[in-house]
Chains A and B, each alone.
Chain A
Amino acid sequence: MSLSIRNLKKSYVEPGGRRLPILNVDSFDIADAEQVVLIGSSGGGKTTLLNVIAGVTTADSGQVVIDGTDVTKLPEAGRDRFRALRIGYVFQTFNLLPAFTALENVLLGMSFGGRKADRPHARELLKRVGLEHRLDHRPAKLSVGEQQRVAVARALANRPSLLLADEPTANVDTANQENVLKLIREACTENGVSLMMVTHSQDVASQFDRIETLSDFNKPEAAE
């Protein structure tokens, strides 16, 4: 599984009507099973980039090719389906649906791709993140660190080929931060999943072989 981005442009239209360019990436690639950490200043467009890759935001132009499929060419429903089947996404906070237990949240991760829900797999994933005793707890009854671990388990539930993680450890204490991070990296390694993870933590970033700074390959000012 690989990701390659070409000539990607994304801008927001400000309330005044002025275009505000956020992304302008000539070329960016992640190889199969590669783990990349993305750092950069706040407001630089990291989340926007992940959203474009995940297909929840549309780019203005350019290509985002995942495993040979240019997701920017897909219609919205096609992107939804692609995301359901191939991409895992972990956000900074509030990842979980409050109405559902930990196990159900993980099952939700496989509910929208049209595949059969694989309960043993969901249990196995939760066991892997050390939550086998918390299966039937609702998010409100879980600590923030536990919630993030459930979110990681859920992001892996559909056996994705690309895992996007947007500051998954930002709200977690140091001990748990290590825990969650280790989990993400191990799961990706074991399953050959490519990982793109955003972080603000130098500690976290330093553990990765490949560290990318957004401003190094993103030149929005050159987009005018």
Chain B
Amino acid sequence: MNLLAIAFKSLKQRALSSSLTALSVALGIMLVVSVLVVNSVVDNTFNQKSVGVSLLIGPRGSDLGNVLSAVYRIGKPAENLPWRVLTEDLPNAAKRIGGVKDASDIIDWAIPMTMGDVTQEGSFPVLGTTPKYFKMEYASGKKFQKKGELPVNSFDAIIGSQVARENGWDISSQFSLIHGGADGHVHDEKFTVVGLLAPTGTANDRTVFVNIEGFFLISGHEKPPEDAISRLREFGYEVTPEQEAVIREAAGGHDHHDHAGHDHGAHAPHPIPDDLKEVSFILVRTKSSTASIMLAGELNEGMRAQAVNPIIVISRLMKLFVGNTRKLLLFLTALIVVVAGIGIFVSIYNSMSDRKREIAIMRALGASRVTVFSIILGESLLLCLGGGILGLLMGHGLVVVAAPLIESQAGIMVNPWSFDVMELVLFPILIGMATLVGFLPGLTAYRTDVADSLND
């Protein structure tokens, strides 16, 4: 019989205490594993790779607020920006960079987004954007997959997978929006689902996308002409009398618009002048990271909007908040494993006094001091590693059970079998712990005096 087999038999002899101590290790490891899995999920969700965007242009104020709102759809934008930020400031800023003749030299694309409303059912954020949004990678190397159509008509919508699941919506479902303003009234316009997005594991899953042009057509989204003009001036734009006239004329027509008699989806009713449009955020993808840094510098100079690299903001958030929380969680779960280790120590150490004679018998059969030491160490190894493997399975099992819950509660997709490399590190740690825990009892065995113990 080899030493591990001998160790295993001795453990079996004390089945209850052995299985309980192994179980305590298993529970500790289970928690560590689930923390690690959740960790890597949070990592992937908030990770740099999740954002295929190099610059986020939004209202001045909190860059973190902008990122949370634009990328994670948490909270509403502080204010909206004039459309001219997209059509004037952005290309102008690009052209101010030395050696750039045309904005397209450094900018791959710029996608406007308007936000603020939520669905009446389920309160999912409603995002008005252009079809270009769905052509970009939502994570590195990952493109949107859809069933149905993109929202090309004014009151069309394509919805994220979680929205579809939770609201039970499918293609041709109709729904209403709640206005994001202070009054929170329900908009009269009914939207129709024309497409479903496949799950992405990002905030897109719980977003309702509508055509940005349709978004402006919703009553209450247009600004009174005076407001629009004064706001443009606030932002430092020149508004010529001709432009003013266009604004007033278009706004006047729109004001008396009667929604009830119209079929919004069939044709685009009135072209809305750019100066009546607003944008919450602009997603920009530059051709290089240096270009994005320089462009951000140019944009932030004197503009009433701000441009940030969402990646930097996210990693700062991760470091400051999520990183520390993760460390704390890992520390606490590691502590549980340590406590379990102490349990193993107590269990083996307590058994030693009863086993003096057994050890003496083995010695009398020719086992060396090192051999009996190894057998005790083997017991502790078996308990730690056995518990560890069980804990690993239990941990992933827990995540399997919890995955749908996490997905529905937090909108984060969890792959329960995603294996964190840290889990491999667990084994050397467990072996180290087993050695530490088994050392003292092993030493007791090592020191057992054969003649004395045989006579007892």
Contact = CB atoms under 8 A, between A and B. Distances in A.
B is bound to A:
yes
A107 B10 CA distance: 15
B410 interface: no
A99 to B, nearest CB: 3
A95 interface: yes
A56 B363 contact: yes
Contacts of B10: 99
A117 B1 contact: yes
B455 A108 contact: no
Interface string A101-134: 0001001110111000100000000000000000
A11 interface: no
Contact of B362 (A51, A104, A112): A112
A108 B362 contact: yes
B332 interface: no
Interface in A42-76: 47-48, 51, 54, 56-57, 76
Nearest to A91: B454
Contact of A84 (B9, B366, B450): B366
A113 B397 CA distance: 44
The secondary structure that dominates the B interface is helix
B428 to A, nearest CB: 29
Interface residues of B, number: 25
Interface residues of A, number: 34
Nearest to B370: A77
A76 B13 contact: no
B422 interface: no
Contacts of A159: none
A77 B368 contact: yes
Contacts of A98: 13, 358
Interface string B1-22: 1100010011011000000000
Given A83-B366, A84-B366, A99-B10, A57 B357 contact: no
A47 to B, nearest CB: 7
A89 B365 contact: yes
Given A51-B451, A112-B371, A100 B365 contact: no
A84 B369 CA distance: 13
B312 interface: no
A205 B357 CA distance: 28
B19 to A, nearest CB: 15
A98 to B, nearest CB: 6
A57 B451 contact: yes
Contacts of B2: 111
A54 B364 contact: yes
Interface in B277-309: none
A77 B451 CA distance: 16
B451 A80 contact: no
B361 interface: yes
B367 interface: yes
A204 interface: no
B365 A112 contact: yes
Nearest to B364: A89
B9 A99 contact: yes
B447 to A, nearest CB: 12
B358 A112 contact: no
B361 A97 contact: yes
A158 interface: yes
Contacts of B6: 108, 111
A149 interface: no
Given A47-B455, A56-B450, A98-B358, A111 B368 contact: no
Given A47-B455, A94-B357, A97-B361, A112 B368 contact: yes
B40 to A, nearest CB: 42
Given A51-B451, A99-B9, A56 B1 contact: no
Interface in B321-345: none
A81 interface: yes
Given A80-B366, A85-B366, A108 B451 contact: no
A79 B88 CA distance: 93
Interface in B359-389: 360-371
B364 A56 contact: yes
A158 B367 CA distance: 13
Given A47-B455, A98-B358, A76 B366 contact: no
B362 A80 contact: no
A109 B369 CA distance: 16
A57 B451 CA distance: 6
A193 B357 CA distance: 27
A76 B454 contact: no
B451 A107 contact: no
B9 A104 contact: yes
B9 A100 contact: yes
A158 B450 CA distance: 20
Given A111-B1, A112-B371, A80 B363 contact: yes
B91 to A, nearest CB: 82
Interface of B: 1-2, 6, 9-10, 12-13, 357-358, 360-371, 450-451, 454-455
20 contacts: A47-B451, A47-B455, A51-B451, A56-B363, A56-B454, A57-B451, A80-B366, A83-B366, A84-B367, A91-B364, A94-B361, A97-B358, A98-B358, A99-B13, A111-B6, A111-B365, A111-B367, A112-B362, A112-B368, A112-B371
Q: Which 5 A-B pairs have the closest CB atoms?
A: A84-B366, A99-B13, A56-B450, A112-B366, A80-B368
Given A51-B454, A84-B365, A99-B13, 16 more contacts: A47-B451, A47-B455, A48-B451, A51-B450, A51-B451, A56-B360, A76-B368, A77-B370, A80-B366, A81-B368, A83-B366, A85-B366, A91-B454, A99-B10, A111-B365, A112-B367
